Amino acid sequence: MYGGHIVDDWDRRLCNAYLQHVMNETLFDELELFPFIEGKNLSFKVPIACPFDRYLEHIETSLGSETPLAYGLHPNTEIGFRTTQCTQLFANLLELTPKEDDAAAGAEIKSPLEIAAEQIKFILEDMNLKQLIFNLDDVKTRIDIDNKTPYQNVFM
């Protein structure tokens, strides 16, 4: 789905499957939302109808961390995902470290904090963004208050 809209037949099939198998009367009977979970000592059931505070308590105390078993995948899939995630994290950290070529050439070595400060200064001062700010009073006068759309509401 794109932006909450059904755009093709595959989206329609997926939404219909959700509506038939999840969004039905059994949802109120503590339905088990994790498929293929039998015998794996894991559960994700819909809580019974209760006040809002009890829902918050259920979310904070009963819900565990996300697991590949919830999607019917093998537990080792998480190992591959976490390994890829760590590799990407360390690659990003290596990109932030000063390069030896710069030091050999006599260039000034900047810390990541200095680089970030320069970028912030560029965005806030050099791009002169204050001239690009909309005059909200002018915009408000052009919007029909009785027929305000969600897009206009978010913009304001």
102 lies in a domain?
Answer: no
**Pair 30, 48: CB distance under 8 Å:** yes
CB neighbours of 129 closer than 8 A, spacing ≥ 6?
Answer: 123
- Environment class of 34 (CB within 10 Å of its CB; exposed 0-12, middle 13-18, buried 19+): middle
- 43 and 75 housed in the same domain: yes
Whether residues 16 and 60 share a domain: the answer is no
Phi-psi region of 30 (alpha: psi -120 to 50; beta: other; left: phi over 0): left
The chain-wide mean pLDDT, for the chain, equals: 79
Residues 119 and 152 in one domain: yes
**Tokens describing residue 54:** 């009890």
Q: Is residue 103 part of a domain?
A: no
**Tokens read off for 85:** 């995630």
> Considering only CA atoms, which of 96, 94, 152 is closest in space to residue 119?
96
pLDDT in tens, 124-145: 777 777 777 778 888 888 887 7
Q: Do residues 97 and 86 make contact, with C-beta atoms less than 8 angstroms apart?
A: no
- Assess if residue 122 is contained within a domain: yes
Residues 91 and 128 in one domain: no
Does 66 reside within a domain?
yes
- Of the listed ranges 58-62, 111-115, 128-132, the one predicted with least confidence: 128-132
- pLDDT range class, residue 74, cuts 50, 70, 90: confident
Q: Are 121 and 113 in contact (CB under 8 A)?
A: no
| 81 and 114 inside one domain | no
What pLDDT shows up at residue 1? Answer: 45
